[in-house]
Structure 1
Amino acid sequence: MTFIHRLSLALAALFLSGCDQPAPLVLDQQLYIWQRQWTPAHALALRQSRGDFSSVRVLALQAFPGAGWSRARIDPAMLKADGRPLVAVIRLDGQLKSLNQDDVIAQIQHVLGDWQAQGLAPVGVEIDHDAGSARLPAYRTFLARLRQTLPTTLQLSITALPAWLDSPELTELLQTVDSSVLQVHAVSDPRQGLFDAGQARRWAKRWGAVTTRPFYLALPAYGVALLTQETGAPVVESEVPIDRGGERRELLADPQTVAGLVADLRAEPPEHLAGLIWFRLPLTGDRRVWSLTTLGAVARGDSLDSRLAVHVDEQDGLYDIRLVNQGNLDSPWPQRLTLAVGACDGVDALAGYTLQQTPGLLTFTRIQEGRLAAGAQRAIGWARCTKIDQGGFNVYP
């Protein structure tokens, strides 16, 4: 056998062994819509998200301890125009002392009836109840009863907590629903961070070994602020502003960290993993959420990159100076940036930066935190100069 013949056989064997490798799992991608009041911004966000996300899970109804029931003010016309499969989410606060089963079921039936009267046809109901492990037997009884009252055409799912993995009641509980959504973000104390990719991976693997039915992972695409108090734990501020002064510590799930977990899940999926559900749909003006550009890139598995540049617009010697994010990854405002200029007789920085002028150079220095969404731009200052070198800039993270 000649060397060339042996080499050909070796290459053929390598090629065939490569063909036997399993293809990465195609994960279904869905979105939570969690705003309690819909605005015109929802229309654009829905339209722009349709290419990457198959279904929407919409907050429909909430029960709070002491405050009672509250409905989300959805826009049925927007949901009808969107046309994607729709799941109604019922949030039952984990601090409720007990569930009045008759009342909860009546409220769910009422909201479903109202949605149907408005032309909506949900394909499922999700119950979001952060019950403690000791209350899982009573929760299972409620779910079994709810399943009997819902039409057989509606899928029943639940949001689930990793803490339940240590409960002997979990296996039987999961038999009462069609699927579960394991929440792996901000599950204990936000002060410890919103997300731990390694811990989320371990929880997902354990969950897949316990359930015999499809499950999803709820992943974070958002941030919160922690408001310090003189006593007690910090107050958590998320999509709804809290009318209170004081220092705010911003926490944000890191897109690159979450993207790493998604890549791992595709390469080595836990048993029964059906897909990912992202919290939450990004709206224009929501500063504590990833941009839809970044969220879509993470969901698709694209390479992430924030390419910051400085653009200037000139009119009669007056230059407007803007920071532009040309990449697909949201970026913190840079710590410092410099711009080569000619002689200037007037310069100033805008909110968030200070400006130092030296011969031939403008230096902008960040004095507060902020983020620039992928594809967005932000004015940072102006200058009246004989010239500004459009390409003569440096950005320092």
Structure 2
Amino acid sequence: MIDFWLAAGLMLLVALAVLLVPVLRGRRAQAEEDRTALNVALYQERLSELQGQQQAGVLTSAQLESGRAEAARELLADTEGTQSVRHSRLGRVIPLVAAVLVPLLGLGLYLHWGASDKVELAREFRQAPGSIEDMTTRLEQTVKAQPDSAEAWHFLGRTYMAQQRAADAVPAFERAASLSDRQPEVLGQWAQALYFASERKWSPQVQALTDEALKADAEEVTSLGLLGIGAFEEQRYNDAIGYWERLIAVLPADDPSRAAIQGGVERARGKLGEAGQVERPATAAVASGATLKVRVELDASLKDKVQPGDSVFVFARASNGPPMPLAVKRMTVADLPAEVELSDADAMMPQLKLSAFPQVQLVARISRSGKATDGEWIGRSQPLASSTRDLQQLSIDSPDK
């Protein structure tokens, strides 16, 4: 901060110069004024002497006029170069008082409304942190300096979680959720922090946060993973397998966490075998449930506008109901054309199934980003009964707006 205060000091010196220079100039002008007055007095005295000598008969009239001209020339020579004096109504006291008060007032205002803490914080962030503890300290300073930054609170919560400080992460994620309009990603991480802070005990608040996150984004990975953990801890192994398989389906192929999640699925299957339970087939729906068959094709006009690796999401959503998908399948453009089945077994959330809604709409979306809620091209069907058994045709042929 030394360079900052040096710069501030230089600016104060400039301000003092602006105030004091007129005062100094005023003193010089006063000296010139005094000198001019003395020269005039001497001139008048010389004229008086000349007139006295002329009356005494010592000087003739011509000599008197010559003496007057000589005195006038001397006066002009002595006063040449002097400037007219401007009298200030403020006097000298007010500028001097202002020269003292302005720096003090400026310093006081800066200490009250200034941002020296942010200047120091910016200087610190120029250097890479030496450890995660250093990063945590910097983020804590950031949220103090910028309490309305959702990103800062979010990163602070994640840093706390990396240090296994779940209890500290809870208020950080809560604040981030409030400032970010409750983004699904932040809600999922808030729920995760609550779960671990309560010693892995599921609570109504954790359930509500995961439900809210998945309602806004059916692919929110933290919520899917957390729901799988909660189901596994409660020995609901079929539910755990379902959540984790949904998570694997939305993760990129090169994601390093896929292997760990697949390992969790295998452990859940092992637990089912130990308990003598049967795994619920992923492709089988309840006998009374709904199953929709759809053939998805890519319109010929789009073949040159998409890439073989672009994700394709095929899902059904309620015609009159929540906007989130009721069931979804994922593939790539390279797999098209393809036939898929959507059933209650593919439900994104246990309480939202195809069979619970009499009318649904089929949608196929191409997403270069790999997100089911955001894409470039789309195809939609007309509303149809969820009990329909006939094969449906769906063509991706329109821009996704």
Q: Same fold (TM over 0.5)?
A: no
Between structures 1 and 2, the one with greater helix share:
2
TM-score scaled to structure 1, two decimals? Answer: 0.22
Between structures 1 and 2, the one with greater strand share:
1
TM-score scaled to structure 2, two decimals? Answer: 0.22
Larger radius of gyration, structure 1 or 2?
2
